[in-house]
Structure 1
Amino acid sequence: MSFRYGLRTFALELLMITVALAFLFPVYALVTLSLKDPQQIAASPLSPPTSPTLGNFGAAWERASFGSALLNSTLITVTSVVLLIAVGSFAAYFIARRRTGLGYGMYVLFLLGIVLPFQLGMIPLFKLVDDAGLLGTYQGMVIFYTGIQLPFTIFLYTGFIRALPSDYADAALIDGAGHLRAFTQVVFPLLRPITGTVLILNAVFIWNDFFTPLLYLGGSAKETIPVRIFSFVGQYVSEYGLVFAGLVLAALPILAIFLVLQKYVIKGFSSGLKG
């Protein structure tokens, strides 16, 4: 079958190039502004830098105490993601394998957690965290993120587990293993694709979240990277070179993780939707 390059093919290619440029433009602006001094940004913000400078990166790292902010973001993100994977996968295993009214009801309840925005409970949640003495602590942030992201995590895991053959787990149960052992030693290793998806999606959300750390950690020594970057934006003076340099530095760790796990993201997500 021969391929004919026609007007339709040209239009599709032109459309794809346009979409690609639209997605690449924010990246171009981010890198370009991070390499300019204030004078170049004021004169021509989006033109290529005539005299690129790396001074913004060093100034942003020092003035925002990026080392401590990086540690804070890493501790909160890693702990939250580990809890989400552990709790979400086992809860999804129970829901997927227990085909009763209880299992279905719990699944619907978690789906409601995806639909309802957490902003509706923002004030009660803040009051609850404050009363528990968890404001300005790692524990408060980890509990918050685990609760907020758990419905989405269970949704992904449940669909994937339902698409898996139950023969392996059933064989382990027949051999005398309990449900916990059957899950940890038989089922969970089969969840590698969806676990990679859960890891990267939750890590990106938690790492980049600005509003919640500002609300719960603002003014403390445990501020995360987005909150520290916000310190460069003032009412009268905004140091955009430092802001964009900080954004580049903040994006590098999560970008590295995404590049390592990218093959699992689409594979796990598409497989999870089968159930």
Structure 2
Amino acid sequence: MREIIVIAIALAMLIPFYFLIVMAFKPDSEVITTSAYAPAQAPTAGAFAEAWGAEGNKSLAMGMLNSIIITGGSVVMLVAIGSITAYSISRMPGRPGKLLRVLVLIAMILPFQLGMVPVYVAMRNLHLLGTYPGMIILYTGLFMPLAVFLYSGFAESIPRDYEEAANIDGASKFQSFVRVVFPLLGPATGTVAIMCGLIIWNDFFSPLIFLSGSNIPTLPVVVYSTVGELASRWNVIFAAVIISMIPILVYYLVAQKKFIQGFSGGLKS
């Protein structure tokens, strides 16, 4: 019975994907004249070719490249800085370590919109608006509390014996972290990379504000522009949505093992 319920829920969650695929393969003549439930009578991939062939700020290829650069750069910074920050906090004794953990939690709770205007003004003064480094720095600061929080549980579960053994062999603190501790944080790294990567890839509001007027729109902004221009051509719009989903789905399928390990618990000594 439980398996039947789970399968039924999974099928219900796949209904939107059915609509996406059915509408994307319909020719223009069937989009309005046939029901959204009905499969295409004369399936065609023309909508995909048209969506992918758009140029300028509506180019899916350009938007995908921009999203890959911004998401990839942000994830690398979050992993590099978040892991060593969480490790340092976990090894900090007494009240300073507890205070920093509380500050991380407070930073996670506070909404970004409260500081959006000062951040915008600061980025404008630093000439970071509409640039790759500006968006990478923005997302790194925005999701650093989440990355530190996810890393902290794993860092605290790693026995100090590993580090002490490395120190006895002559390794410095940094070398013991890079060669011993960080490889053991693999499941947490996968969780941080996937969670933050998914959020950054799908984020629409921040690129709309901080990349407005630039030539590097991200994929959600490109899809939004496509919807605004092709309000009645749902086959092209849905084809653009499917194309925008492919990279992040492939990314998740490749890294899902680490993601599941990250939620299943810390390191067992």
Same fold (TM over 0.5): yes
Identity, % of aligned pairs?
45
Query: Equivalent residue for 1:260?
Result: 254
**Normalized against structure 1, the TM-score is what?**
0.90
Distance 1:219 1:55 in 2: 30
Distance 2:203 2:266 in 1: 25
Structure 1: any 5+ residue segments left out of the alignment? 1-8
Query: Equivalent residue for 1:190?
Result: 184
The answer to whether the 8 Å contact 1:111/1:155 transfers is yes
Distance 1:235 1:162 in 2: 51
Distance 1:41 1:120, change over 3 A: farther
The answer to whether the 8 Å contact 2:90/2:97 transfers is yes
Matched, 1:57 2:48: yes
Query: Equivalent residue for 1:79?
Result: 73
The residue identity in structure 2 corresponding to 1:173 is: N
How many residues are aligned here? 264
Distance 1:122 1:241 in 2: 36
Select 2:119's aligned residue among 109, 120, 125.
Answer: 125
Distance 1:150 1:188, change over 3 A: same
Matched, 1:19 2:9: yes
Distance 2:153 2:3 in 1: 35
Distance 2:206 2:95 in 1: 35
Distance 1:109 1:272 in 2: 22
Query: Equivalent residue for 1:36?
Result: 26
The answer to whether the 8 Å contact 2:70/2:132 transfers is yes
Distance 1:22 1:197 in 2: 26
The residue identity in structure 2 corresponding to 1:174 is: I
Query: Equivalent residue for 1:112?
Result: 106
Select 2:211's aligned residue among 217, 222, 225.
Answer: 217
Query: Equivalent residue for 1:207?
Result: 201
The residue identity in structure 2 corresponding to 1:61 is: W
Matched, 1:175 2:169: yes
Distance 1:226 1:19, change over 3 A: same
* 1:14 positional shift: 4.1
Distance 2:232 2:163 in 1: 58
* 1:115 positional shift: 1.3
Give the 3-state SS of the residue equivalent to 1:50 in structure 2.
Answer: coil
Matched, 1:45 2:36: yes
Distance 1:50 1:272, change over 3 A: farther
Structure 2: any 5+ residue segments left out of the alignment? none
